[in-house]
Amino acid sequence: MATVLKAGTLVELEPASVEVGSLRIDQGLIVQRGPVVDELPGDEVLFLDGKLVMPGLVSGHHYLHAALLRGVGRFGTESEALHQLEAALEPDDVEAAAASGAVEGLLSGVTTVFNLHASPRQISGSLSRVAHGLGRVGLRAVLGYQVSDRLGAVGREEGLEECLDYVKRARGRFRGAVAVSDLEVLSKDALEGVKGVLDAAKAFFQLALAEDPAEERASTAKFEKSPLARLHEFGLVGERTILAQGVHLSWEDLASLLSTGAWLVHAARSNMFTQTGSATAGKFGVRGCLGTDAMSLDVFAEAQAAWLKSRDAGQPIDILRFLANGHRLASAAFGAPIGPLRPGALADLMILDYRPPTLLDPTTLAAHLLHGLSARHVESVMVDGVWRLWSRKVLAVKVDELAAHTREAAQAVWERMSK
């Protein structure tokens, strides 16, 4: 059965487009667009009466399990707290956190998340547990296990194996990636292993870089090179590299990255939370996009914070481009168009009940996004041609039961963290 969306205000981000029209969606794809589209017997036909239809949003860098830190006593820096959380995670906790995070994302209009994960208690199969939690809710995701030396050579090799295994198995709404943490102290063996997996799997490479000036000091003391110089040394920077944060990258560093085609992910709320500095996202070039890091999976909120912070710094970013670049990143990961509301694109979209108080057209779209639109306007969300949220109701899970289960998981994790 196909779905026909009639008389919606179709909004695309770059190039900005706002026009009233209709869409026909069949087998996970947008197959027709126009003032009038075909209707066949048995079709689901929805009259939108001018409600906005927008592509679903993308977070280019996120930690779903970080939601379990909300309210727990602080354990040092954000990085240290995440490490302690990860060390306490059991498989059921991983899945519960992923499902709860997916619900928050869905209610915020997010349809794709690039997620980094680590759970040293059980590495093997952990990405499948993340995928199962996300899959229950219906999001699309790229999942990477963070390879590190925290557990020595055995843990490092198990992390590499988990990445390679998941890259080979992921299909449908999921793709695998390779990720690392603690780059500033990551061994030569680990980086050689990452390079080997990436060469074998042709996967994306995810990591955080230059969030804190202490990273460069630690790397220089141990290896006599900066973290970025080591990435270049091992040939780990290119068009399939996703680098988040970038707070303390110099102009020279940024120039060396921009020429490689790497994706640079700005996480403004996280920058403000850690208080280690705020990235100058205006320097991120043509592949700058947004990530929600360890904050809530709300890209509307992230976009507004990023733009305000950049304006405060005197270098306002083109927020429509940053959001559209999230779609370009997702399109590259899945090998199909995500974002355009055009025939041939994957049907990842949302309906927003937003009645603009002023003219909404391509010239004012950014202003409405920054000063008007928010997660509260998200009414329904479709991923891969299937309704996942309808009239603010998550369709595949019982949200209250999931939330209660996640609270129980969080309490158990906190107790393990305190031991």
Same domain, 221 and 351: no
pLDDT of the residue at 117: 98
Residue 48 and residue 145 in one domain: no
366 within domain boundaries = yes
Q: Are residues 20 and 168 in the same domain?
A: no
pLDDT the model gives residue 74: 64
Residue 180 lies in a domain: yes
User: Is residue 29 located within the same domain as residue 76?
Assistant: no
Are 33 and 108 found together in one domain? no
User: 282, 299, 333: which is the final residue of a domain?
Assistant: 333
Answer yes or no: is pLDDT of 77 > 90.
no
Whether the per-residue pLDDT at 163 is higher than 90: the answer is yes
Instruction: For residue 408, tell me if it sits in a domain.
Output: no
Which region among 11-15, 155-159, 252-256, 262-266 has the lowest average model confidence (pLDDT)? Answer: 252-256
Q: Which of 282, 305, 333 is the last residue of a domain?
A: 333
pTM beyond 0.95: the answer is yes
7: CATH: 2.30.40.10
* 81 within some domain: yes
Q: Within this chain, do residues 34 and 119 fall inside the same structural domain, yes or no?
A: no
3-state secondary structure the chain: CCEEEEEEEEEECCCCEEEEEEEEEECCEEEEEECCCCCCCCCEEEECCCCEEEECEEEEEECHHHHHHCCCCCCCCHHHHHHHHHHHCCHHHHHHHHHHHHHHHHHCCEEEEEEEECCCCCCCCHHHHHHHHHHHHCCEEEEEEEECCCCHHHHHHHHHHHHHHHHHHCCCCEEEEEEECCHHHCCHHHHHHHHHHHHHHCCEEEEEECCCHHHHHHHHHHHCCCHHHHHHHCCCCCCCEEEEECCCCCHHHHHHHHCCCCEEEECHHHHHHHCCCCCCHHHCHHHEEECCECCCCCHHHHHHHHHHHHHHCCCCCCHHHHHHHHHHHHHHHHCCCCCCCCCCCECCEEEECCCCCCCCCCCCHHHHHHHCCCHHHEEEEEECCEEEEECCEECCCCHHHHHHHHHHHHHHHHHHHHC
User: Is there a domain that residue 419 lies in?
Assistant: no
Q: How many domains does the chain have?
A: 2
Range of the structural domain that residue 32 is part of: 3-55+339-394
The answer to the question of residue 411 being in a domain is no
Mean pLDDT computed over 88-106: 98
Residue 402 lies in a domain: no
> Average pLDDT, stretch 8-18?
98
Same domain, 38 and 126: no
Question: What CATH number corresponds to the domain at position 294?
Answer: 3.20.20.140
In a domain, 418, yes or no: no
Of the listed ranges 39-48, 51-60, 74-83, 314-323, the least confidently predicted one is 74-83
Residues 205, 328 share a domain: yes
